[in-house]
A = this chain, B = another copy of it.
Amino acid sequence: MNINKKNARLNFSCCREGRLRGCFNRSGGRITGPRRAIVDFFHHEKGHFTAEEVFAKLALRYPGLGIATVYRTLSALSSSGVLNRFDFGEGKAKYELSDGHEGGSHHHHLVCSNCGKIMEYYDFMDEERDFFNKIEKTLSNRHNFLIKGHSLHFYGFCEKCKKENREVK
C-alpha cells in the first residue's frame, strides 16, 4: 500500500480525519498524502526532529516524498500551532508536537551551553502544572495573546562539561 499511488491512504490508528481537518482543511488547505504522513509521524514519534530527520524516516515508506514538501509542511504546521519549532544552537531547526495539541507529550529541556547536549525531563511536579495554568491565564489577559503552548529551556552545563571545565571556556 503505497501512499503516493492514486487514492492510496495511510491508515494509522491515530490518523483520524478530524485531526487532519483541524490542521489543514478548516482554513481551505487540502489534505494530502505527505501532510497526512507528516502529521502522523509526530503523533507516533516522541521528541524533536529536524526536517532532514523527518524526511529520512518517511522516505522509507513514502519513496516519492520531496524534501521541499517536508520543509513546507513543517513550516505550515508550526504557523498553525500544531508543532513547535525550536533551535538548540545546532544550526538546524527542530520540531515537536505542540503540548497544546492532542497527543502532545509535554516536557522541558536542559541545554548544555558548552557541548550542546539536550536533555528532556518529563517528571513534572504538580506545582509546575499549576504554575503554567495560572500564568498562561494571566498573560493571555494582560497581553491579549492566545497561548497555544510554551517552551522552557534551562541553559547551563551538563555533568560532563561541569567537570571538564572548572573554569569555563
**A positions within 8 Å CB-CB of B:** 26-27, 29, 76, 78-81, 84-87, 89, 93, 98, 110, 112-114, 119, 121, 123, 125, 127-128, 131, 134-136, 138-139, 142-159, 162, 165, 167-169
Contacts and interface: CB of A to CB of B under 8 A. Distances in A.
22 contacts: A27-B165, A27-B168, A29-B169, A76-B169, A78-B89, A80-B114, A84-B155, A87-B93, A110-B139, A113-B148, A125-B135, A127-B134, A131-B131, A143-B159, A145-B158, A145-B162, A146-B162, A150-B155, A151-B152, A151-B153, A151-B155, A152-B152
Contact of A81 (B146, B152, B153, B156): B156
Contacts of A79: 113-114, 169
Contacts of A143: 110, 119, 121, 159
Contacts of A154: 136, 139, 145, 147, 149-150
A142 B84 CA distance: 26
Interface of A is mostly: mixed
A128 B132 CA distance: 9
A143 B123 CA distance: 11
